Chains A and B, each alone.
Chain A
Amino acid sequence: MSKEQKDAVLTTSHLGIDFGGLTAVDEFNISIAPTEIKGLIGPNGAGKTTIFNMLTGVYRPSRGTITLNGKDTKNMSPVQVNHAGIARTFQNIRLFDKLTVEENVKIGLHENVKYGMFSGILRLPSYWKEEKRSHERALELLDIFGMADEADVRADSLPYGAQRRLEIVRALATDPKLLLLDEPAAGMNPSETEELMKNIRKIRDDFKIAVMLIEHDMNLVMGICENIVVVNFGKIIAEGTPEMIQNDARVIEAYLGGKKEED
């Protein structure tokens, strides 16, 4: 194991998954440094979200290993993976629609709020103390995106861009070491995307965490990612800095060839 891998927050080796005999992802080897922003790009259907699903325990990999801070997370459930330190957002937004913005963030804080069911029912002092703490923490986190004013709004009545931002706040609330963002800028206009880029960097700097993001907006990817992994047909075809990726013949080929079979 190289030094780089030893220090990494997450490493995968020979990671792969088959669906009914069809190989969806194979030989996926990456390593993410503790405060790195990494891009995961590739044409539609390349297996990017499948990779996220494997990393977060939604799918069980058919082979290979996933190591998070020295711990093997390959056979963990999504809940265990989250507790181990990976948080994520979803390509198709998954908020708790009928809960308020603040309550959505409080779900992220769930593990962190320390009072039991009976303290809650009997309204013991620990309930009041911890509820106050989680309320303050939720507002603090919402403030990263300037959303503290909308704390009492129902999540499903937020505009699209704000819903994406709320998902990020909720993921952050779980206190992760690695944040996985699945198309965070989808559906945002250029000025919102610009704002988002700034905030992703700010999150990385303030929370000292690693970020890996799937994104089709190349301005965003090239603008903030320090390293980029390109996948096609479930395999890594290129890896390196934005400059290297932009000039890689295989990547250009994959994107031009991939256009025809967009889903």
Chain B
Amino acid sequence: MEFIRKLKKHTKVSFLNYGIVIAFYFAVQIMAVTGHLSNSLKGQLIPIVSYVIVALALNLVVGISGELSLGHAGFMSVGAFSGVVVSMSVADSIPNPGLRLVIAILVGAALAGVAGVVIGIPVLRLNGDYLAIVTLAFGEIIKNVMNCLYVGVDGKGIHVSFKDTASLGMAADGKILINGPMGATGITKLSTFMAGTILLVIVLVIIQNLVNSRTGLAIMAIRDNRIAAEASGVPVTKHKLIAFVTSAAIAGAAGALYALNYSTIAPKKFDFNTSILILVFVVLGGIGNMTGTIIAAALLTMLPELLRKFADYRMLIYAIVLILVMIATNNEKIRSFIRGIGKSAKKEDGANE
């Protein structure tokens, strides 16, 4: 016990988060063995893990760096489609599905990271709502471009076109990988829950260690007071970019994991609504709070399924709950009321001691 008490607060939180993820993994395994794992939950495991990962990534931007991004689904999209193309085009040369998944995730992360650099360099000079609108615009551009993207592979290699499948000019043995608005079809499913859990743990290590290092401290200092950070010799753009690009790359990895769980995936899947959905996870989980983000993303991804018996009303209920939660957690009067309860409860605890 003494050992635990001596640890720093953020170290404890980090280990709590690893614990939650690993406990969730084993709980699912036990449910599977004992036959308590419903088919609907089983089908949702990889989406849950993917959304948890991308929500953590977004929290790095929104919570740690303090910038609002409304286009993170765009990075997922880049990761998803590049991951699919890579995994399918190396199918013959690399028969091992696990290795193919790793390569797909790495390539997805790398390309999404590149997209993050391309977008981040010009955009991070803007602040506040303007940054938000520009990320929204980039998300829409990525969706739009993906909608016009045709990719095929044949003996000669990968063919790309922005017009139609015919203009790919493929040989007879060729295979269409991405078909415009229809997206990727005939994907070989590679993602597994275990792979997803491992990726999630790795992502947690990266994000938490980054945040609790000198780089993370600098990013948070810029969030709290940009002018004071500059006056203290901390370069602003570099650190904003680190947070943004790391976040984009992780979102790309999550996108690849997500896409390789389905046989078809369309660009429409990664639209503005998905970006907002991820943002809702972050906000409801508590901005900057990684534990909250994990729980919120997992629960809210399952929620529509849990509300299935309300059928048509479920999204309406979701909307009402969202509004009520936001008001309850942000209204000054309600907050001070809750704080008051907390304080008087603490006082009573003190009296009992």
Distance, CA A86 to CA B332, complexed state (A): 41
- Whether B233 contacts A111 by the Cβ 8 Å rule is yes
The count of residues in chain A whose C-beta lies closer than 8 Å to any C-beta of chain B is: 38
User: What is the minimal beta-carbon distance from A164 to any residue of chain B, in angstroms?
Assistant: 13
Chain A interface: which of B20-28, B186-194, B217-225, B269-277? Answer: B217-225
Distance, CA A95 to CA B228, complexed state (A): 7
Instruction: Say yes or no: is A99 at the interface (Cβ < 8 Å to chain B).
Output: yes
Determine chain A's interface SS by DSSP, over half rule: helix
Give the residues from 77 to 110 in chain A that come closer than 8 angstroms, CB to CB, to chain B.
77-79, 82-83, 87-88, 90, 94-99, 103-104, 106-108, 110
Partner among B214, B215, B225, B233 whose Cβ is within 8 Å of the Cβ of A96: B225
Give the residues from 202 to 240 in chain B that come closer than 8 angstroms, CB to CB, to chain A.
205-206, 209-210, 213-218, 220-221, 223-225, 227-236
Instruction: Say yes or no: is B242 at the interface (Cβ < 8 Å to chain A).
Output: yes
Chain B residue numbers with a CB within 8 Å of A56 are: 231
User: What is the minimal beta-carbon distance from B173 to any residue of chain A, in angstroms?
Assistant: 43
- Whether A103 contacts B232 by the Cβ 8 Å rule is no
Closest A residue, CB atoms, query B242: A117
- Whether B228 contacts A94 by the Cβ 8 Å rule is yes
Chain A residue numbers with a CB within 8 Å of B220 are: 96, 98-99, 103
Determine chain B's interface SS by DSSP, over half rule: helix
Chain B residue numbers with a CB within 8 Å of A97 are: 224-225
User: What is the minimal beta-carbon distance from B302 to any residue of chain A, in angstroms?
Assistant: 30
Chain B interface: which of A14-22, A35-43, A120-128, A240-248? Answer: A120-128
Kindly state the interface size class of chain B when it binds its partner: 20 to 34
Chain A residue numbers with a CB within 8 Å of B224 are: 95-99
Partner among B216, B217, B230 whose Cβ is within 8 Å of the Cβ of A82: B230
Partner among B205, B225, B233 whose Cβ is within 8 Å of the Cβ of A94: B225
Instruction: Say yes or no: is A113 at the interface (Cβ < 8 Å to chain B).
Output: yes
User: What is the minimal beta-carbon distance from A141 to any residue of chain B, in angstroms?
Assistant: 13
Instruction: Say yes or no: is A174 at the interface (Cβ < 8 Å to chain B).
Output: yes
Residue of B205, B223, B232 contacting most chain A CB atoms (<10 Å): B232
- Whether B221 contacts A120 by the Cβ 8 Å rule is no
Chain B residue numbers with a CB within 8 Å of A78 are: 227, 230-231
27 CB contacts below 8 A, A to B, read A58-B231, A78-B227, A78-B230, A78-B231, A79-B235, A83-B233, A94-B231, A95-B224, A96-B220, A97-B224, A98-B220, A98-B224, A99-B217, A99-B220, A99-B221, A103-B221, A107-B234, A110-B214, A110-B232, A111-B233, A113-B214, A115-B213, A120-B210, A121-B209, A131-B214, A170-B228, A170-B232
Binding site for B on A (CB under 8 A): 56, 58, 77-79, 82-83, 87-88, 90, 94-99, 103-104, 106-108, 110-111, 113, 115, 117, 120-123, 127, 130-131, 134, 170-171, 173-174
